[in-house]
Amino acid sequence: MFVHGAIKPPKPYKVPTIEEKGAPRYCRYHQFVGHPIIACQTLRKILHAKIHDGTLELPFKRQAIDEDPMLK
Ligand SMILES: [Zn+2]
């Protein structure tokens, strides 16, 4: 998603160092060490909003249960 520019990260307070980028708690969205990107609430909200209004195409196929909760 970052590669294609679909989501623009905010400007970082400072340029992250290589060590910071390699840290397990480095957030690629906020570009600082504080939380891993999977725990980033801001990015999660943006993704949910984009999925909701259909402006984000998911790179993976939706699971059948999402399409039809009443499995046959
Ligand atoms: Zn974050």
Q: pLDDT for 11-36, tens place per residue? A: 767 889 999 999 999 999 999 999 99
Distance 71 CA to ligand 1 centre (A): 36
**What are the structural domain ranges in the chain?**
2-54
Distance 31 CA to ligand 1 centre (A): 7
pLDDT > 90? residue 10: no
Q: What is the model's pTM?
A: 0.61
User: What pLDDT is attached to residue 1?
Assistant: 52
Please give the Cα distance from 67 to 57 (Å, whole number): 15
Give Cα separations from 50 to 30, 47, 55, 58 (angstroms): 18, 5, 5, 10
Distance 54 CA to ligand 1 centre (A): 22
As beta bridge partners, residue 32 has 27
**Mean pLDDT, the chain, integer:** 81
